[in-house]
Amino acid sequence: MKFRRRKRRTPEQSKPVAIQMREFFATLPERPSPTEVVERYADYYVEHPYLVEQVLNDSGRSKFSISLATSDHERQAITKRAALISDTLLLQHSDPEQFHVVRRNRFFDGGISRPHFDLPPSSITDEISINCSDVESLAEWITSSRPLLESGLAWYFPRVRSTSAVDDFAPREKVGPVDFVVKDRHIVQAVDASLSGVKGRMVKLVLEIDLPFVDAVSLRDFSDITVSEFDSYRGFRNFLRGRFLEIEDALNSDETDRILARLSVEIDDQVRAVVDQIKRADARNNLQSAGFGFGVTSAALIAVAPELFEQALTVAGLAGAGPALFDFLKQRQENRFQVADGREWYYVWQLSRKAEYR
Residue 95 confidence (pLDDT): 87
Residue 351 confidence (pLDDT): 92
Residue 228 confidence (pLDDT): 94
Asked if residues 187 and 69 have their Cβ atoms less than 8 Å apart, the reply is no
Looking at per-residue pLDDT, the higher value among 320 and 35 belongs to 35
Q: Which H/E stretch holds residue 126?
A: strand 123-130
- The CA distance from 244 to 204, in Å, is 10
The model's pLDDT over 18-46, given as tens digits with 9 standing for 90+, comes to 999 999 999 999 899 999 999 999 989 88
- The CA distance from 259 to 261, in Å, is 5
C-alpha dist (Å) from residue 172 to 67, 69, 242, 319, 338: 21, 20, 41, 76, 53
Single pTM value for the model = 0.75
Residue 97 confidence (pLDDT): 83
What is the secondary structure of 278-290 as a DSSP string? HHHHHHHHGGGGG
Q: Output DSSP code: residue 250.
A: T
**Which 3 state secondary structure label does DSSP give 198?**
helix
Q: Which H/E stretch holds residue 82?
A: helix 75-82
Q: How far is CA 309 from the centre of its chain?
A: 42
Q: How far is CA 41 from the centre of its chain?
A: 18
Looking at per-residue pLDDT, the higher value among 176 and 338 belongs to 176
Q: How many residues does the chain have?
A: 358
- The CA distance from 354 to 350, in Å, is 6
Residue 129 confidence (pLDDT): 86
Q: Output DSSP code: residue 354.
A: H
Asked if residues 182 and 94 have their Cβ atoms less than 8 Å apart, the reply is yes
Q: How far is CA 265 from the centre of its chain?
A: 24
Whole-number percent of the chain with pLDDT over 90: 36
- The CA distance from 47 to 45, in Å, is 5
Asked if residues 350 and 225 have their Cβ atoms less than 8 Å apart, the reply is yes
Q: What is the mean pLDDT of residues 183-209?
A: 86
Asked if residues 274 and 345 have their Cβ atoms less than 8 Å apart, the reply is yes
Closest C-alpha to 345, from 293, 253, 272: 272
CA–CA–CA angle 169, 173, 177 (5° rounding): 160
Looking at per-residue pLDDT, the higher value among 124 and 263 belongs to 263
Q: How far is CA 319 from the centre of its chain?
A: 50
Residue 323 confidence (pLDDT): 53
Looking at per-residue pLDDT, the higher value among 76 and 158 belongs to 76
The model's pLDDT over 299-314, given as tens digits with 9 standing for 90+, comes to 444 444 444 445 545 5
CB-count burial class (<10 Å; 0-12, 13-18, 19+) for 175: exposed
The model's pLDDT over 1-25, given as tens digits with 9 standing for 90+, comes to 444 444 557 788 999 999 999 999 9
List CB contacts of 146: < 8 A, sequence separation 6 or more: 21, 25, 223
The model's pLDDT over 216-230, given as tens digits with 9 standing for 90+, comes to 999 999 999 999 999
- Residue 163: phi, psi to the nearest 5? -125, 145
Angle between helices 198-208 and 75-82 (to 10 degrees): 120
Which stretch of 50-54, 89-93, 293-297 has the lowest confidence by average pLDDT? 293-297
Q: Which H/E stretch holds residue 264?
A: helix 253-285
The model's pLDDT over 128-184, given as tens digits with 9 standing for 90+, comes to 888 888 999 999 999 999 999 999 999 999 888 877 544 433 345 556 678 999 999
